[in-house]
């Protein structure tokens, strides 16, 4: 979530280690999206479709401002912007919004979802994030070994070996130990212009699409940030 996806896809590297890393990044992105949106299915989250447009825009603008305040080549926010980060993180409490639930604001052609996590919900999020990544990577390893393990060419062997060595601890990847120790702010962002709303709702969240976008928009596209 630190790195914004490139606007145009990069050409796949010929280096086996780099290819394995890129595949791991792909699974990490999948894990992030799944862990964010699976609250209804896994954590008894509720859909609350009455988020005010003002609060939705306040959150959106706040994240955009903090994105510009990151230190060069680091996900850490410039300390001068710590008050704005704290205000954004406190938004659920200051506006009497429950955490874990999905607070939804609807506009024509757009749905914005605000979700806050607190206390043990944060730990549960990282557990699910790790579980999604591990499952996706292991399934891919098995598929690649089954499909290509018989090949004797050095590039395939090197790629399978590189895949076998990938180990990513999400709490470490997102600096959770340092955050707890030093109390600094780390910004993780991921922007999605379009999503398959049916897949997102029914497969990941476990709810009918019309509960998120409204009955009249059940076949629409989810956009936002």
Residue 178 and residue 184 in contact, taking contact as beta carbons nearer than 8 Å = yes
Confidence of residue 109 (pLDDT cuts 50, 70, 90): confident
Interatomic CA distance for residues 19 and 162, integer angstroms: 9
Q: What percent of the chain has pLDDT over 90?
A: 44
Confidence of residue 152 (pLDDT cuts 50, 70, 90): confident
pLDDT at site 13: 66
Residue 194, pLDDT > 80, answer: no
Q: What percent of the chain has pLDDT over 70?
A: 88
Tens digits of residue pLDDT in 136-151: 999 999 999 999 989 8
Residue 102, pLDDT > 70, answer: yes
Confidence of residue 42 (pLDDT cuts 50, 70, 90): confident
Question: What are the structure tokens assigned to 117, written together?
Answer: 């996590």
The widest CA-to-CA distance across the chain, in whole angstroms, is 61
Least Cα distance to 148 among 140, 9, 84 occurs for: 140
Interatomic CA distance for residues 78 and 52, integer angstroms: 29
pLDDT at site 142: 94
Cα torsion through 123, 40, 190, 25, rounded to 10? 70
The listed range with the strongest mean pLDDT (2-6, 176-180, 213-217) is 176-180
Least Cα distance to 24 among 167, 191, 172, 179 occurs for: 167
Please, what is the average pLDDT of the chain?
Answer: 85
Confidence of residue 157 (pLDDT cuts 50, 70, 90): very high
Confidence of residue 221 (pLDDT cuts 50, 70, 90): very low
Residue 1, pLDDT > 70, answer: no
Phi and psi at residue 11, in whole multiples of 5°? -70, 140
Place of tokens 């992105």: 29
Question: What are the structure tokens assigned to 103, written together?
Answer: 């607070």
Give whole-number Cα distances, 9 to 12, 26, 46, 131, 158, in Å: 9, 12, 35, 27, 24
Phi and psi at residue 107, in whole multiples of 5°? -135, 165
Cβ neighbours of 164 (radius 10 Å)? 12
Confidence of residue 219 (pLDDT cuts 50, 70, 90): very low
Residue 223, pLDDT > 50, answer: no
| Secondary structure class of 76 (helix, strand, coil) | strand
Residue 220, pLDDT > 50, answer: no
pLDDT at site 218: 43
Beta bridge partners of 47: 102
198-207 mean pLDDT: 86
Residue 186, pLDDT > 60, answer: yes
pLDDT at site 145: 92
pTM: 0.79
């Amino acid at each position: 979530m630190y790195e914004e996806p490139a606007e145009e896809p990069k050409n796949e590297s010929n280096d086996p280690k780099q290819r394995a890393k890129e595949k791991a990044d792909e699974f990490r992105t999948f894990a992030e999206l799944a862990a964010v949106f699976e609250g209804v299915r896994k954590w008894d989250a509720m859909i609350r479709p009455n988020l005010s447009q003002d609060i939705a825009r306040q959150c959106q603008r706040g994240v955009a401002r903090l994105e510009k305040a990151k230190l060069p080549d680091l996900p850490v926010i410039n300390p001068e912007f710590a008050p704005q980060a704290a205000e954004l993180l406190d938004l659920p409490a200051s506006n009497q919004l429950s955490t874990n639930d999905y607070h939804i604001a609807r506009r024509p052609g757009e749905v914005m979802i605000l979700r806050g996590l607190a206390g043990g919900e944060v730990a549960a999020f990282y557990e699910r994030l790790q579980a999604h990544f591990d499952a996706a990577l292991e399934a891919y390893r098995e598929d690649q070994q089954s499909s290509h393990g018989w090949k004797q060419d050095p590039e395939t062997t090197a790629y399978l070996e590189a895949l076998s060595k990938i180990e990513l601890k999400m709490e470490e990847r997102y600096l959770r130990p340092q955050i707890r120790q030093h109390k600094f702010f780390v910004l993780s962002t991921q922007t999605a212009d379009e999503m398959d709303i049916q897949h997102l709702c029914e497969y990941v969240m476990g709810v009918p699409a019309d509960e998120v976008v409204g009955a009249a928009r059940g076949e629409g596209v989810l956009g936002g940030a």
